[in-house]
Structure 1
């Protein structure tokens, strides 16, 4: 009798182990099935959440407004060889990396702000792909490359702050804070601002297209210029890798500003592989005490020296010392 009970227990344990292994295999092979554990906007909700706001030169256009419903509905997969190999129809792009459609009036003006230092190969891939991608969205955009020109530890958040000021000078009402190593894979992720600040790359390939934690708010973020000013931008103190995105999220929460995301099928991004950055050893301490500095550390305490401003064919290049 005891032998039969032991055999049955062994059989049940074996079934449990096999089931767990099968679920693990499914999780690894089909990660997108597990990317819906967070709140997000469904496809039919996206268009009404996008904030229509353009610069004065676009608002003066007297053409029919561009349509975006088909772009969102089709959500075309764009990460292909054609978009990655060369800039298509480059004559459409204005100097400084600016573009707006000529056959309709865009409803959105967006500044793409990219912090940068010594990533030539990634920058080359980013510019080719993003110009091919963004022009398909019928938006008005301009790419700003903010390059740290000194030998201090890389200060990503401070470069975003600098970029936001320059973009605001050119009247851009929407900011996309964009890492140079991330590329969107579907066209339905419209590069325009929503009512709430938006985390855009919530389904990233290196995380098996899942969201690691709900408070993650980095990589690619859309936020209205006025909202960015309202929260005093990002901290200027995070030198090296890590911490600044969590501090940014905490700033929003302290001002009772919620974030949003599009559904996983719109939010798939791929990361261009690169050598890991040196970590910021003080990031945890800065995070713990961040709430004490939200009102004093940010746009209102920003200091930098602009060394040069270059207008390239594919981007506006701002060289700064931090």
Structure 2
């Protein structure tokens, strides 16, 4: 028997739709609430260093140095409240402008000329086939770091083709090779596609390892889970050696940051973050990367492997140059 739509009671249809809508909203609310209940995400559950307390957490030089200059202030007077983020199209002439305006030395090295910086920092950038992002990063970061009156060097470690990308191992290589060139006591391990949005996010180390971003635009300025330690992190040289660096085992993408978080906890250290209003970032647009299959199993297996890291690092430097805005290493690993 064929039923005409007009023969179906309209009221009954409306009641069913309403019930479905209510059940759907309730189910989604529960799914959203469960991770919060278990502490998996939402920034209100994360302890942050308040903006007014940040300077007390910074670790830097406090005594006289080899020259007669005074010490730079703890917080630079040149910091800006708002920053202009770059377009995707960066003019190739911008390198020369940065060099002229900021007096960047070969190798991407700079320090203040009128005072002794309190913070001696090396930025380590793992790299492969991201030329536009690298140019944007350098164009943005050099003026940012100069305004903070840091003594710094930017180091780019490029992995040769042939094997899967190993971000964590490139960080280890950058650390070892930079120590041959610099006496930096603070290392910032930084992805090339992240840019800080606030000058007061000082690129210096703290008493404990620091996850540099507390909020990022692609995650709606929230953190997906409490143990996140990716994107950009700052560690004192002594702390990085204490945890034996990153694991060398994570080829492909994913889980190497979580492994580092485990290492930090195992040696009795903790991870800190700054106030999200200070430690906010934007991520440069790029194609999505698939997480490597089996990464979580490898993370679990690696929990007790204290020998994996700096002490087991093996690689070959194929080429190296002090380019105008950064020190470059090409490595096979």
- Residues in 2 aligned to 1:139 and 1:121: alpha-carbon distance in whole angstroms: 25
Distance 1:154 1:53, change over 3 A: farther
123, 134, 152: which one pairs with 1:112? 123
Cα displacement (A) at 1:71:
5.6
- Partner of 2:303, secondary structure, is helix
Q: Which range is displaced more, 88-97 or 192-201? A: 88-97
32, 45, 54: which one pairs with 1:46? 54
Superposed counterparts of 1:1-322, under 5 Å = 35-53=43-61, 59-69=65-75, 76-80=81-85, 86=94, 88-91=97-100, 92-169=103-180, 170-293=182-305, 295-322=306-333
From the CA coordinates, give the structure whose radius of gyration is larger.
2
- Deviations along 1:100-125, one digit per CA (max 9) or x if unpaired, are 01121100000000000000111111
Cα displacement (A) at 1:262:
0.4
Q: Which runs of 4+ in 1 moved over 4 A?
A: none
Cα displacement (A) at 1:79:
3.2
- Partner of 1:59, secondary structure, is coil
Cα displacement (A) at 1:210:
0.8
Cα displacement (A) at 1:70:
5.7
Q: Which range is displaced more, 133-142 or 274-283? A: 274-283
The answer to whether the 8 A contact 1:113-1:160 is kept is: yes
- Residues in 2 aligned to 1:111 and 1:233: alpha-carbon distance in whole angstroms: 15
Cα displacement (A) at 1:46:
1.0
- Partner of 1:292, secondary structure, is coil
- TM-score of the pair, normalised by structure 1: 0.84
- Residues in 2 aligned to 1:118 and 1:139: alpha-carbon distance in whole angstroms: 28
The answer to whether the 8 A contact 1:78-1:133 is kept is: no
- Deviations along 1:192-250, one digit per CA (max 9) or x if unpaired, are 00000000112010011111111000100000011101111011010001010000101
Alignment root-mean-square deviation, CA: 2.7
Unpaired stretches in structure 2, ≥5 consecutive residues: 1-14, 33-41
Cα displacement (A) at 1:89:
4.5
- TM-score of the pair, normalised by structure 2: 0.82
- Residues in 2 aligned to 1:278 and 1:44: alpha-carbon distance in whole angstroms: 39
